[in-house]
Chains A and B, each alone.
Chain A
Amino acid sequence: QVQLVQSGGEVKGPGASVKVSCKASGYTFSSFGIVWVRQAPGQGFEWMGWVSANNDSRNYAQNFQDRVTMTTETSTTTAYMELRTLRPDDTAVYYCARYANFYDSGGYAELFDFWGQGTLVAVSS
Chain B
Amino acid sequence: SSELSQDPAVSVALGQTVRITCLGDSLRSHYYTTWYQQKPGQAPVLVIYGRNNRPSGIPDRFSGSSSRNTASLTITGAQADDEAAYYCTSRDSGGYPRFGGGTKVTVL
Contacts and interface: CB of A to CB of B under 8 A. Distances in A.
A118 B49 CA distance: 22
Contact of A110 (B34, B45, B53): B34
Interface residues of B, number: 28
Interface residues of A, number: 25
Contacts of A108: 30-32
A112 B36 contact: yes
A94 B49 CA distance: 23
A108 B53 CA distance: 12
Interface string B16-56: 00000000000001111110100000011110011101010
Contact of A117 (B33, B43, B98): B43
A46 to B, nearest CB: 7
Interface stretch (A24-32, A68-76, A77-85, A99-107): A99-107
18 contacts: A44-B102, A45-B44, A45-B89, A47-B96, A47-B99, A61-B96, A104-B50, A104-B51, A106-B30, A106-B32, A107-B31, A110-B91, A111-B46, A111-B49, A112-B46, A113-B49, A114-B46, A115-B44
